[in-house]
């Protein structure tokens, strides 16, 4: 009987063939630890994951099981300690800081904590995402920021600072900022957590449309059962291990 390691290349080719395009994310045997010595704790254990271009994957699982750590590793925000992590065909294991920085310009991140700059208005925060686009003048970046804010229902809040916005409005600004950069990969950590059911649904449908129209891959962490049907595939994480679910 073939061992698991010998089957992995076959499974990876299968997911690539069944997907909607070339692999955006290709992970094999990814493990990660926090701490040292007696405080060392393993948070990811032999994770395998493949995501094709234009595919929407939802990641579920209990709090503290390693979901956010996985997102930050794929997003090149943390160094890969063990395992193969390829994003856009680039290996992140052993990648230099400059390589990871260049890669992040192609990735949109939606954080749980919004991470908005408090001194900038909603429009200016979103314009920071558009600033990553090449050969785009100030007026075009401003117009694009306004367009994305309209798409998330914040056309009347352009000039407000973060402290004047509700939690749900801040989340929508963060979503608009990520989309303004026209990413090829979008990593979203609980993007609907602070939104009501109607707005949350609209935002997720917007992300799915982005995936279809721009072949943008989407990996979204969620505990929201109302949006599971938008996914091409569901995966579940428990105790640092990933379990594939074919939808």
Question: What angle in degrees, to the nearest 10, is found between the helix axes of 138-151 and 167-180?
Answer: 130
Give pLDDT tens digits for 177-207.
Answer: 999 888 999 999 998 888 888 888 888 888 8
pLDDT for residue 1: 43
Domain CATH number, residue 193: 3.40.50.300
Give pLDDT tens digits for 209-229.
Answer: 888 888 899 999 998 888 888
pLDDT for residue 240: 96
State the pTM of this model. 0.86
pLDDT for residue 197: 84
Give me the residues of the chain with pLDDT under 50, please. Answer: 1-4, 6-8, 11, 13-19
Q: β-pairing, 107-110 with 185-189?
A: parallel
Letter string b/e over residues 179-193, b meaning 16 or more CB atoms within 10 A of that residue's CB: bbbbbbbbbbbbbbe
Name the residue range of residue 75's domain.
4-245
Counted domains in the chain: 1
């Amino acid at each position: 009987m073939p061992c698991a390691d010998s089957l992995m290349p076959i499974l990876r080719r299968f997911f690539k063939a069944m997907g909607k395009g070339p692999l955006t994310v290709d992970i094999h045997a990814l493990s990660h630890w926090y701490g040292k010595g007696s405080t060392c704790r393993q948070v990811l254990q032999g994770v395998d994951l493949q995501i094709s271009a234009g595919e929407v994957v939802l990641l579920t699982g209990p709090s503290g099981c390693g979901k956010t750590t996985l997102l930050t590793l794929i997003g090149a925000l943390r160094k890969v300690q063990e395992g193969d992590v390829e994003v856009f065909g680039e290996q992140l294991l052993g990648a230099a800081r400059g390589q990871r920085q260049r890669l992040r310009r192609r990735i949109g991140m939606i954080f749980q904590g919004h991470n908005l700059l408090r001194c900038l208005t909603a429009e200016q925060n979103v314009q920071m995402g558009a600033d990553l686009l090449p050969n785009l003048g100030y007026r075009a970046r401003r117009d694009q920021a306004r367009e994305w804010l309209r798409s998330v229902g914040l056309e009347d809040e352009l000039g407000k600072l973060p402290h004047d916005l509700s939690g749900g409005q801040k989340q929508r600004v963060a979503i608009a900022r990520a989309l303004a950069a026209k990413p090829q990969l979008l990593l979203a950590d609980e993007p609907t957590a602070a939104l009501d059911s109607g707005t949350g649904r609209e935002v997720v449908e917007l992300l799915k449309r982005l995936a279809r129209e721009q072949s943008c891959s989407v990996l979204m962490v969620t505990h929201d059962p109302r949006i599971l049907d938008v996914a091409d595939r569901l995966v579940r994480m428990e105790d640092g291990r990933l379990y594939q679910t074919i939808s």
